[in-house]
Amino acid sequence: MPLISGNEFIWGSRTYSMGIINVTPDSFSNDGILNNIKKIQSKAKLFQSLGSDIIDVGGESTRPPNIYRNFTPVDENEEIKRVLPAIKAIKDVVSIPISIDTYKASVAEKALSAGATIVNNVWSIKNDDKMNAVLSEQKPVIILMHNKKNSEYINLIDEIYDSLNHMVENTLKLGIDSDKIIIDPGIGFGKTTNDNLIILRHLEKFKEIGHPILIGPSRKSTIGNVLNLPVNDRLEGTAASLAISISKGADIIRIHDVKEMNRVAKMSDAIIRGWKNE
């Protein structure tokens, strides 16, 4: 079983959770913290105390700019300026692994040097020789997420499956060990609301690829569209999405509402995997 930053992850034993800390002014979920180290450290410590297993740090909103307003892409220097102090500060106060949420090679490289041990790249390893070089040299844990620039599919599940499988093969060619690969079908990225619902309905299909599955529906527009609710009122929709995902084989949940969703995961695990009254 893999060790990440000295922490053991036994896939299948329980659901692990990744708490989101956005060091941005324009996070779609309205939870961004920018340039406030004390707040960042406080949130990281809180997340760990509430049971987070990983903290995911992002310095640029990855929401599609054609769908959401008030979003400005940032260059790599600005992103580095945001995430490096945050990663160093978080590393000082928690013992759980830190993930860097970026698709830029230079950001990933500096984040790994600062203490991150996981790269969560919404564009995975597609057509980016610089990122591939960083991954090949540093050999971090990598989250391979399915993404595309449109939402046109002939067979949604098969196409995502084939894409993820191909990405796994290419990642192995970079010299990254198989047990350092996590896959993510990419809820909300290059998919319609109905596509996202179909993915959640058929999530068990991706278990056949043979790697842990991360799922991230937290507060996303699919929930807002189904329930007709704003981004800060999607707790129940997120909970339902995660409970179903866990029943379908999700290994890691990426979440904003750490206390509530870890309770959802614990209850789901008790039903699905069995409960020990200890």
Q: Cα separation of 269 and 278, whole Å?
A: 15
The token pair that represents 228 in the structure block = 């007709």
Q: Cα separation of 258 and 262, whole Å?
A: 6
Q: Cα separation of 23 and 19, whole Å?
A: 13
- Selected catalytic residue, list 254, 263, 266, 276: 254
Q: Does residue 266 have an active-site annotation?
A: no
| Contact (Cβ atoms closer than 8 angstroms) between residue 242 and residue 261 | yes
Q: Does residue 254 have an active-site annotation?
A: yes
Please count the other Cβ atoms lying within 10 Å of the Cβ belonging to residue 132.
17
- Selected catalytic residue, list 63, 220, 234, 248: 220
Please count the other Cβ atoms lying within 10 Å of the Cβ belonging to residue 133.
13
The token pair that represents 72 in the structure block = 């400005």
Q: Cα separation of 105 and 133, whole Å?
A: 8
Active site residues: 220, 254
